[in-house]
Each structure stands twice: as C-alpha cells, then as structure tokens.
Structure 1
C-alpha cells in the first residue's frame, strides 16, 4: 500500500513550511492547507466507506431474496436462516477495503395481523487514509435489508370436493382444518394482507353441481331452459331423453303412469312439488286430477319443475298403424274406461277419451300470467292428438296459459355445466348467446335436494372473492359431504370467480398492479357424473372418460390464458386425496391440469391434507424487498 508514505511525505512538507522564514505567505498557505486537505481527505474516505456500504446493501438484498425463496420452497427451515445467510453473503460481498464485516439475521413469523419478515443487518469499517489526521483511523458503516412476505396482490380460488366420499377416513374434517383451522390456509394468506384487497379468497364447494345461492334467481346470466322444460325436451340427456308413448293422448285421470325408470329414468309423483311416487295419475276429484308429474330422473339426478295437464278433448282415435298401439291401463291393470282397440299389426287402431297435455310452465302464448318469467316452447303432443306410423314425432308446442305451478323463485340454487363448448371456457355470459349462460338445475340424489337450505347435508353456496376471513372460515367449516363427483364444474366456477365482469361480481383489477391468480382444486375421487348422463351414471364414467375429456380441455384453456402483458394468468395446484383401498388410479386429468409437476399432490392419508395446504400456502407467499 502507498497511502501511509503519502501521509508521512505531507507531514514532512508541512514541517518545512512551518520552519521557513522566507515570507508570511508561505506560513499562511501552510496554515490553510491543513483544513483543505482534511476536507478533501474526508470526502475521499467517506466515498470509499459509502462504496463499501452500497456493496453491502446489494449483497444483503440479494441474500434476503434468496433466503426467502429457499424458505418458500422448503429447501431450508427457519433454523437454517442464520448459517445460510452468512454463506450467501460471503459469496456476494466482494469489497476488498471493508474490514470487520459481520451480519445478523432475524426471522419473524406471520401472525393473524402481521406479515412474516426476514431482517438482515450488516456492519463493517474501512481504514481511513486522510481522516487519520483528524483523529479518525477508521470509518464504520452499517445497513439492513428486509423482505416482507405477500406484497404481490393475490386472488386465490379454492375448488373443494364436497362429494359423499369425503365423509370417509376423516377427509372432510381434515379439509376444514387445513383451510379454515388455526394456522390453516386462510390464516396463512390473510397474514400476507397489509391492507384490505391485498389478498382475496373464493370458496367453491362442488359435487355434481355448484350452489350459487337461490337468491340469484333473478340474474340474467342464468339459463332456465332445462329447469323449465319437461323431460322430453332435455337435449343434454342424449340417448336418455324421454319420449312420449304412442297412446299419450289417451292417458288421463286414473290411468297408470305412462313412464318408468326403464322408459325414461323417472316415474310419476302425486303433485307438481311432491316427491311422493304414485302408480296412477291422480283421478277425478283430486286437486291435481290428471296431472302427470315426473319424479326425479334417475339418469340425470335432477327434478323436473312442472307437470303435464290432462285437458279433456272429446273422444277419437289416439293411435293407429302399429301392433304396439294399446289402451292405457287403470289401477286394476285393465284398459281405462271407454277405450277399445281393433285390428292387428299395421292395421291396429285404438279409440278412447282424448286429452291435450300441456306442461305447467308458462308457454309462448301466455300473455297474462307470469310476464316476468322465462317461457318454454317444448313440444307436448302429436298433431291432432294422434300417433300414426307417419306422425311419430311430437310437434304440438306447449300452450299453458296459467300461472306456473313451480315458478323460478322456488329454485334452490344449483347450477350445472354450461352448454358445450363453453363448459370448457372462461367466456363471460351474454344474454344473446344461451351457450354462455349457466344452466339452472334441481340436483336431487340420494333422496336429497342438495342445494336446498333445508337439506340435512346441503351443498354449501359459493363464496365469491372476499377478504372477510371469518365469513370464509364459516363457509368452509359448514361444508358437508354430498352427491357425486364433477371436478369440472368446480374448476369452471373457480375460474369464473377470478374473472372481472363475470357473474360473481369479482372486484376490479388495477392495470398498474401485479396479480397472482391461483386456483387450488382438491378432489378425493375420479369424476363420475355431470350434466350429461351419458358421460357417467354417478358411480363410474362412460367409456373414453368423456367427463375427463371436457375437464382436460378446460385445463388446457386455463393454462393457455394470458393477461394484457402476455403473461400466464393462472397458477393451478391440484390435489388428489387417494385413501381408497384398493387405491384409485392416479387421476391423469388432475395431474395434467396442474401448472407444473411440482404443483400436483397425490395424498394417501387425510393427515396429509393439512401439510399440503401449508406447503401451498408458503409457496403462495410473494416477496418484496423493503429498504
């Protein structure tokens, strides 16, 4: 080093100036040179100290970020922070002039009201060159860096399996604790929120349907087509769609129910809102005399919300041209009164009392009743009240002109999958395109209307994005096992809950803010049923796994979605809870739906639900360096 000889040289020159007798100017110059050199030297030494401190600040910031990343990913624990901090800092801090360098670390865990932090403090000194003259042989410096968890705004949608199998092996209890219990996901994420709106969470309980709350019956985004129509006008039922019997127009009061589970998937009920099965149509003298009220559909697991009337239309031929043409039977299994058949094979013909059947939801000709209700235009009968070999397709349109026997305000809140292809998209609903609307459904399985508030095991309503942590916890803790598995409808509504402008009134986003949009989908089994009964019967899927095919397409669309900056919009975590014995196969659709392989979790015990949600909660903690 050459600096100390320089100081000695300056000292010798100053001594010569002090002893010089050649003139006053030299003495004055010598006197003023001391403070000038002190100021210049101080500036040089302070610049060197500032440079060392700046380098330390950068090293501490980088160290803090790497520590936070390690802690987030679980590669270190909080007890490793001190040693890991020293290792990272030593590799990053390369200033050769700093001496006596040391760092300390302090990790503060998150609480219900404060975010977690990592505080790193560093100190050191340099040996001064010029400030030694003023009595300062060294100049010390110190700095600090703090990482705060949760500064990126987060919107997290929880699609949670509420199906009947969740009652087994303590799964539903473990799920409630993992999400809403002490130290659960809601508390983890809420601790990251410094101000209201930093973190939002939605809760989407699902079975075959989701429950969007019956109070929404007046919303324009609901498709009432299936809910209002009879079972003979349910396109989603495919090959399971019911058909009218050829003696349809001879069926009236006192006749046997013309439907059975083998002929349509349903039988008859006593009245429009009853769930009491009857073998014959209510006879004359009853309030609902002649009403043909379909029971729950065993194929689609839905209730129909109307009945066919039986309005007398005189007597005449009601079917001809088929050997299957026959009179309806009465309760004694005899032909109904006044009905006779003649001929055989293609010449057979049957005559009897005729009835016009209308469906008891307002039709397109209803001009005085329920003007605020949707209309149905389902076909309800054969031309001229007669089936023939050339008139086999019903064409007569419903013309019920009275008040609905089951208006839409009795809907319990269930929503089924959207009409394809929008069952697999995130397109927002528009009234001009019915395929973008959400079909109302009356989900009924295992003798329960699962969306009804009076159900003993209600499928809980969706909770849109909220930062009301107590409300979210209450909703999760109220979840009960219900019905069959349709992961797709839960995933679809998790997606909708994150879309601004959709049916769940998602809060607006700031264009200048970064958002981390996350979907967590948990299910304990394979898909078994959805809106299309041909795809699954409630216990297994049809060949080719069509439910999974539709869900896989939705996952692909979700993963391909980009924001306005061209960045991937959603991070998807999927969890399969596989406690069955023998174990279910790994769900390929869940595995492939995850954003990456490390975001799919296969669990084999209920106890792993808590640790998995804790792991995800830690991974969701985003960082910002606060100096």
Structure 2
C-alpha cells in the first residue's frame, strides 16, 4: 500500500512534465502560426478589412495542428498605431494533471507586425505612351498603382511622413502651367529661326542649319521599278523634266509610219517621291480611196488616247522636317525640337528635354542660366496628364492616376529626369521630405523602347538610351532606391542597368501581373516585420 501511495507523486511529477511539454509545444506552434497570420494581414494589398481578417484566419488555421482547438470565429485581428496584432487564446488538455483536477491549461499568443517607421518619398514614373492602350495595360496599371498607394495610406499620429509623386511621360512631360510656368523657358525652334547662329543648343543649331540647306530629293535612276522600259531608263536623269520633282514632260518616239508618245510626271505624295508614265501612239497607212474618176492612194493616220498611268518610280523621302509642328501622332518619330513653341503660339504646359547635360541632371532651373530651364513646347498629344509633386494626399493622387490616357511615343530619359526633379526641395516640384532619414524610392515603368527625344527620332534608339543611362546613374547618386518594370516590351538591358540592382528589376509578361509586382515593391519599401 505504501508503495502504491509513493508512486502517485512520481506519476504526477513525470506526467505533469509531459503535460507542460505539450502545452509549450502547442504554444510555440500557435505562435508561429500567429506570426504568419499577422504578416499576411499586414501585406494584404486591398482595403476590405473583412477580407484581411479572413486571410489571417485562413493562414492561422493552415499552420496549426488538429490537436489545437482554437476558436477563430471572433475578431482575432486588430490594428492600432499603425501595427496589426493577431491574438489567440485556447486550452490544452492535461491528462496527467487531471489527477489533481487540473484538466487543462489556458494558452494565449500574440503576434504584432510593424513597418519601418521612416519618412518615405516615392516617385512613380509611368509610361503614358500609345502602346499602353494594348492588352489592358493602362487599366491594369491604374488598378495596381492605386492598390500600391493604399498600402501607404491611413497613417496615424506618430507615423513618419509618407509622400508620393506622379510623373506620367511619353516623349514629353506636362506641367501645370498656372503654377510651374516660371520654370519653363522660351527656346528657339530650329525650324522657325532664320538666323541659326542665335540658337544656343548645339544640336538644335545644327538642325536649323541642315533644314535651311535642304534641297528637293532627286530620282535614283538605278532604282526605277521593275516595269520601267528601256526607253524610260534612257530618258531618266536627276535634272530631267518629267523625272525631276515637280516637273512633267512628253517625248515622241517615231518611226516611218507611227509615233509613240511617252508622258512623264514627277510629284510628291505625302513623304513618297513618285513618277508616273502615260503612253499613247499614232499610226499611219496608205489607203486606196475610190472615186468616180478612178481613185487614189491617201495617207490615213489615227491617234490612240492616253491610257492609265504606269508607276515607274516610288521612293520614301527622308529629308528632315523644315517647319515647326503643333501636334505629333504616334507615327511621327521626328526629333521633338520641331515642337518648340514659337512666339505666336499659346503654351499648354508641355516641355521637352533641357539642353545637355541638364537633360539628365537634377539641377534646379535658374532664369539666369537658360540651359537649365525646361523648353516650352507644343503638346505632341493633348491628353498627357500633368506631373504631380510629392504629396501626403494619396487619395487625390489616386484620382490623378485614373485620369491617365495612353498616347504618343516614348522618351524614358525625360521621365527619369523629372523623377529626380521631384526629389529636390526646389521648384517646380518642391516638397521633398527634409528629414535626413527619408528613404527616396523611384519606380520607373515602361512598355517599350525609346523612340524620340528633343534631338533624335526614328531608328536611333541607342542615342536616346545613352541619355537614359546617364539619367538613371545620376538618380542613384542621389541615394534613390530605383525600381524598374519592363511591361511586356522594352530594352531589357537598359532597364536592368537603370535599376539599383538585379533585385530591383521586374520583367512583367502580362499586364495582369502588375498588381503582384507593385505589391512586392510595397512590401520591400514598408519593410514589414514581426516586432512581438
């Protein structure tokens, strides 16, 4: 009997240890699950609080074993002071301790997530060119950016200041002319200037000189169409009427009894040099004509009217522009200096690249240094949205994003340069955080290659790419964390090199992937972590 009594404390001691070990194991398992749940809640990119809690509960349930009887029907997720807290209480059965009438032990776990509480300046440099209308690119971009901004909204007392700016670009950017006009200058349009020596920008000055030296194109007689005859080729000459642009001429080719006439006209249709040939002939023969006195032989001739034209020459005219332009569609890839505003025109807020090297630098525009001012220009397209400076009003910025409309071509350089402008404390985009701890983030998204800038157009993307590379390098010298997103198309090597490093470059093959891409960037910027 004494032995049996002595065994009871031993059983309670050993069994109680087993029960306590089970309690600690269950608590550790639940704590890990709560940590996962609160991180998921903090990373959720939507605004639906019910969905946020549902996801947290789902991750909690998925990461605890069947032996933990946790009640997830209540409100386990709360938010206060910018932190999400996931709390859970449950009981663990204690079969050995039940001998002492302790049938279970209560367990409580709490997980708290927080983001890095540092000031943020975020600049969104977004391609607004015409190709963004394809494959739902613009609509998907708008949705992704608005959800991205939601992750930084709802700051509370004590939170560091979070600001964002919006830089839509095509080959230009547009300013709010009412408030930013003093930072734009009146450059000379090279195609509206009679004295090229007065133009300060060297490349514009060269364009002016070339435009004034432009002559009419001449025919390349070795490139006549396949249906040109030997007679056509024998008459062709760069200064010959009928082959010289804007002239016409006819030639006769006669034999003893017939004549052929070839009529040539050389003209321009749009940007194409055309030469058409028309053909007619006349023939004669002796015909016996009877009469009451016997008859005689008469020479009878007949003329055949001109037939339809035969196109014997067609060539694209590649002479440079010679007149200023007021608009420019997606098919016109000439250098943008033909859009520079002339004195008689009204400015609508668009600007083009500054004079080099300021086109790739963040130097403030100064009225005393004309090259630092942004050249006023006609808007190539009228739908480009104005840039929006850094602001804490993220709700208003979301409405601006919704107003973006795709049109125009692409100049990534001007987007990056204006992104740098947004980070400066000086106008035109004053408003940068003055806190020395501020983290500067730039996100550059494009769906295509560079096509034109102030000085270059057409198939010379490499020249524009070189300017983009310089702009990206200067942005990184400002300690900007630079993310780049290639949406379906674009120069992969250029965008990889533009990013801070390989981990800051995203290649997106479908517009539907943009929300996930911006979510991942938001997570990195927020630096969500478990704090307790």
Q: TM-score range by the shorter chain?
A: 0.5 to 0.7
1:465 aligns with 2:390: yes
> Which residue of structure 1 aligns with residue 365 of structure 2?
429
What secondary structure sits across from 1:204 in the alignment? Answer: strand
Of the three residues 194, 203, 211, the one matched with 1:236 is 203
Deviation at 1:527, TM superposition (A): 0.7
Note the alpha carbon deviations across 1:148-175, whole angstroms, 9 max, x for none.
3463332211111010111122211221
Of the three residues 168, 180, 186, the one matched with 1:224 is 186
Measure the CA separation in 1 of the matches of 2:424 and 2:212: 46
Number of residue equivalences: 380
Deviation at 1:525, TM superposition (A): 0.2
Measure the CA separation in 2 of the matches of 1:490 and 1:211: 11
1:592 aligns with 2:503: no
What secondary structure sits across from 2:86 in the alignment? Answer: strand
Contact 2:126–2:445 (8 Å) recurs in 1: yes
Q: 1:499 to 1:585 in 2, by over 3 A?
A: closer
Deviation at 1:122, TM superposition (A): 8.6
Contact 1:67–1:84 (8 Å) recurs in 2: no
Deviation at 1:80, TM superposition (A): 7.5
Measure the CA separation in 2 of the matches of 1:600 and 1:465: 23
Q: 1:411 to 1:107 in 2, by over 3 A?
A: farther
Of the three residues 84, 90, 93, the one matched with 1:117 is 84
What secondary structure sits across from 1:200 in the alignment? Answer: strand
What secondary structure sits across from 2:138 in the alignment? Answer: helix
Contact 1:227–1:442 (8 Å) recurs in 2: no
> Which residue of structure 2 aligns with residue 203 of structure 1?
166
Q: 1:431 to 1:621 in 2, by over 3 A?
A: same
Measure the CA separation in 1 of the matches of 2:333 and 2:42: 53
> Which residue of structure 1 aligns with residue 460 of structure 2?
541
Measure the CA separation in 1 of the matches of 2:108 and 2:340: 75
> Which residue of structure 2 aligns with residue 9 of structure 1?
none
Note the alpha carbon deviations across 1:3-57, whole angstroms, 9 max, x for none.
xxxxxxxxxxxxxxxxxxxxxxxxxxxxxxxxxxxxxxxxxxxxxxxxxx9xx99
Q: 1:230 to 1:297 in 2, by over 3 A?
A: farther
Q: Structure 2: give runs of 5+ residues left out of the alignment.
A: 1-23, 46-54, 92-104, 215-270, 272-316
Measure the CA separation in 2 of the matches of 1:431 and 1:102: 72
TM-score (norm 2): 0.58
> Which residue of structure 1 aligns with residue 283 of structure 2?
none
Measure the CA separation in 2 of the matches of 1:499 and 1:171: 30
Contact 2:365–2:374 (8 Å) recurs in 1: no
> Which residue of structure 2 aligns with residue 365 of structure 1?
none
Contact 1:417–1:530 (8 Å) recurs in 2: yes
Per residue, is there more strand in 1 or in 2? 2
Deviation at 1:572, TM superposition (A): 1.6
How big is the alpha-carbon RMSD for the aligned residues of Structure 1 and Structure 2?
Answer: 4.9
Note the alpha carbon deviations across 1:351-382, whole angstroms, 9 max, x for none.
xxxxxxxxxx5xxxxxxxxxxxxxxxxxxxxx
Contact 2:42–2:84 (8 Å) recurs in 1: no
Of the three residues 484, 504, 513, the one matched with 1:608 is 513
Of the three residues 321, 344, 365, the one matched with 1:265 is 321
Q: Structure 1: give runs of 5+ residues left out of the alignment.
A: 1-52, 88-100, 125-138, 248-259, 276-295, 307-360, 362-404, 562-568, 579-583
Matches within 5 A, 1:81-160: 82=60, 108=77, 117-119=84-86, 144-149=110-115, 151-160=117-126
Contact 1:67–1:85 (8 Å) recurs in 2: no
Of the three residues 167, 172, 181, the one matched with 2:138 is 172
What secondary structure sits across from 2:151 in the alignment? Answer: helix
Deviation at 1:107, TM superposition (A): 7.1
Of the three residues 411, 421, 429, the one matched with 2:347 is 411
> Which residue of structure 2 aligns with residue 557 of structure 1?
474
Measure the CA separation in 1 of the matches of 2:348 and 2:426: 24
Of the three residues 453, 478, 484, the one matched with 1:574 is 484
1:302 aligns with 2:342: no
Measure the CA separation in 2 of the matches of 1:438 and 1:104: 65
TM-score (norm 1): 0.50
Contact 1:205–1:461 (8 Å) recurs in 2: yes
Measure the CA separation in 1 of the matches of 2:118 and 2:70: 28
Q: 1:479 to 1:196 in 2, by over 3 A?
A: farther
> Relative contact order (alpha carbons < 8 A, sep ≥ 6): 1 or 2 greater?
2
What secondary structure sits across from 1:225 in the alignment? Answer: coil
Measure the CA separation in 2 of the matches of 1:422 and 1:103: 63
Measure the CA separation in 2 of the matches of 1:103 and 1:428: 60
1:186 aligns with 2:146: no
Deviation at 1:265, TM superposition (A): 0.9
What secondary structure sits across from 2:133 in the alignment? Answer: helix
> Which residue of structure 2 aligns with residue 13 of structure 1?
none
Farther-moved stretch of structure 1 (470-479 vs 228-237): 228-237
Q: 1:611 to 1:240 in 2, by over 3 A?
A: same
Measure the CA separation in 1 of the matches of 2:78 and 2:413: 37
